[in-house]
Amino acid sequence: MTRTALGDLEHRVLLATLRLKDQAYSVSVVLEIEARTGREVAQAAVFIALRRLEAKGFLRSRLEEEPDETGHVRRYFKLTADGLAKLRETRRALKSLWQGVAAELDGAS
């Protein structure tokens, strides 16, 4: 169990990175989160969060320079074993919190 807790944005960024497999960098993560959640997210925030998660050891990155004339540089991220463990832990925690509330939640709506 890691000591640092995941923030809400970090949680989302980690999940998006996992979904995107090898293609996760700030642009694709932003689009993924916006597409899935329907809410806008700042690229700078994602950019910073990716690096923070890397500093925490949940992600690792590689740099890719496009050989074409666009001159694009991208930093791609991938989950480490720690990152995966952290997601599992978070899922377990959330699941247990979700348990037994469906009736109230649906009944209320």
Partner 1 sequence: MNGLVHRLLRWGLGEVDGRVFMSEMDELYRHKVELEGRAAAERWRRRELFRVGLHAVAAGIRRASAPARSPLLPVGPRAQREGVEIHRALRESRGPSGGDLLQDIRLAWRTLRRRPVFGLLVVGTLGLGIGGATALFSVVNGVLLKPLPYPKPERLVQVGSVWGNSRPSGMTPPEFLALRASTRTFAAIAASRYTALDVAGGEEPERLSVSAVTANYFRVVGVRPALGRPFVQADFAAGADRRIVILSYDVWQRRWGGDPTIVGATLRASEQRSEGMLTYTVVGVMPPGYRHPESMEDQYSGLGDTQAWMPLALEGTPEGELWTAFRLRAIGRLTPGQSIADARTEAASLATVLATRHPEVYTGSQEGRSLGVAPLLDYTVESRRSDLLLLFGGAGLLLLIAAANVLSLFLTRALERTRESAIRTALGASAFRIVRHFVVESTVLALLGSLVGLGIAGIAVRVLPAVLPADFPRVDAVTVDGRVVLFAGTVAVLIGVLCGFLSSLLHTRRSTGWSLGSRGGEQRGTARLRAGLVTAEIVLSLTLLTGAGLLVNSYARLQRVDPGFDAENLLLLPIRLPRSYDTDEQRLAFFGGLDGRLRSVSGVRSVSWIEDPPMGYGNAHPDVVLQGADPNTEPVSILSHRVGPRYFRTMGIPILSGRDFEREDDASGARVAIVDQAMAQRYWPGLNPIGRRLRLARDPDDHWWTVIGMAGGILQSSPAEESYPHVYFPYLQNAVDLRSVVVLRTDLEPVGLARQLRAAVWELDSDLPVPVIERMQDRIGDVLRLPRFRTLLVTMFALAALILSLAGIYALMLYLVTGRFREIGIRIALGADTRCVLWTVSRQSLLLIGLGTVVGLTLAGIASRLLAGLLFGISRFDVPTYLTVAVVFDVAALLGCLPPALRAVRLEPTLVLREE
Residues 8-47 contacting partner 1, CB under 8 A: 25-27, 30-31, 42-45, 47
Q: Residue 78's closest CA among 30, 26, 17?
A: 17
> Any residues with CB less than 8 A from the CB of 107 and at least 6 apart, and which?
none
Among 18, 51, 85, 89, binds partner 1 (CB under 8 A): 51
Number of residues that bind partner 1 (CB under 8 A): 23
Q: In angstroms, rounded to a whole number, what is the distance separating the alpha carbons of residues 41 and 50? A: 13
Among 11, 19, 56, 78, binds partner 1 (CB under 8 A): 56
Q: In angstroms, rounded to a whole number, what is the distance separating the alpha carbons of residues 83 and 24? A: 14
Residues 72-101 contacting partner 1, CB under 8 A: 72-75
| Stretch of residues binding partner 1 (CB under 8 A), selected from 16-24, 66-74, 77-85, 92-100 | 66-74
Task: Say what the alpha-carbon torsion angle 82, 14, 11, 86 is, to the nearest 10 degrees.
Answer: -10
**Residues at the contact surface with partner 1, assessed by CB under 8 A:** 4, 25-27, 30-31, 42-45, 47-48, 51-52, 54-56, 63, 71-75
